[in-house]
């Protein structure tokens, strides 16, 4: 059940990375402008706090990174949640390195900001670096084992799930102590035995 939820979270992570993450990265991506042209810089070279579009793009990227960080760091989450999207990103990066045209042609919605941002992250190596970080939980053995809490706590009765468990009958074993018991100080002294009259010789 834990790994099934991890697969669902992997699908969610892939969707968040492609839609909000790609859109935010594309909005923040700006090519360097000549020294005499400040208009090409974000917010015209001024403050980014007053630019709502830049803040929304930064929030989209921050949310994507936060979700990826939680899936990587939280021990109770299955490593498949971060590992499967990481393997997908690494595979896509490898295909891009082997054949640029095939790697780019497989990107969906390339005419939209989502596909264009995903393509920009692929070109700049962001997807490869993110994929390497996201597959790290798959190499931690403790992430594959579920942590089961104790069935009962201190001073708490056993749960109903223990009622159906078979019981084991134990045969009592009589043990004897090797130390002799101490004499009772209140015992009464027995009367001396009468030897009878002395026998006379004939």
pLDDT at residue number 17 = 94
pLDDT of residue 57: 87
Q: Is residue 167 part of a domain?
A: no
Is residue 60 one of the residues assigned to a domain? Answer: yes
Nearest to 107 by CA among 115, 99, 96, 98: 115
Would residue 187 count as lying in a domain?
A: no
Q: What is the pLDDT of residue 50?
A: 74
Q: What is the pLDDT of residue 149?
A: 41
Residue 149 lies in a domain: no
> Does the pLDDT value for residue 43 go beyond 70?
no
Number of domains the chain contains: 1
- Assess if residue 183 is contained within a domain: no
pLDDT tens digits for range 167-201: 555 655 555 555 565 665 555 555 555 555 555 55
Is 12 domain-assigned? yes
pTM recorded for the entire structure = 0.65
pLDDT of residue 143: 87
Chain segment 79-100, per-residue pLDDT in tens: 999 999 999 999 999 999 999 9
What confidence tens digit (pLDDT) does each residue in 121-168 have?
999 999 999 999 999 999 999 888 876 543 334 444 445 554 555 555
**Which pLDDT score is estimated for 199?**
55
Examine residue 57 and state whether it is found in any structural domain, yes or no: yes
82 belongs to a structural domain: yes
Q: Which domain holds residue 89?
A: 2-28+53-144
């Amino acid at each position: 059940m834990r790994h099934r939820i991890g697969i669902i979270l992997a699908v969610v992570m892939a969707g968040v990375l492609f839609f909000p993450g790609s859109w935010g990265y594309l909005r923040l991506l700006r090519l360097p402008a000549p020294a005499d042209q400040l208009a090409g810089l974000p917010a015209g070279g001024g403050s980014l706090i007053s630019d709502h579009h830049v803040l929304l793009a930064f929030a989209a990227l921050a949310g994507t990174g936060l979700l990826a960080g939680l899936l990587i760091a939280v021990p109770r989450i299955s490593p498949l949640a971060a590992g499967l999207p990481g393997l997908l990103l690494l595979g896509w990066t490898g295909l891009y390195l082997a054949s640029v045209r095939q790697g780019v042609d497989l990107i969906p919605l390339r005419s939209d900001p989502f596909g264009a941002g995903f393509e920009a992250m692929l070109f700049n190596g962001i997807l490869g670096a993110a994929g390497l970080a996201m597959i790290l939980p798959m190499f931690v053995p403790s992430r594959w084992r579920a942590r089961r809490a104790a069935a009962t706590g201190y001073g708490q009765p056993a749960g109903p799930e223990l009622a159906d468990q078979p019981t084991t009958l134990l045969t009592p074993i009589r043990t004897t102590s090797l130390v002799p018991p101490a004499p009772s100080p209140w015992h009464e002294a027995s009367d001396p035995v009468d030897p009878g009259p002395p026998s006379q010789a004939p």
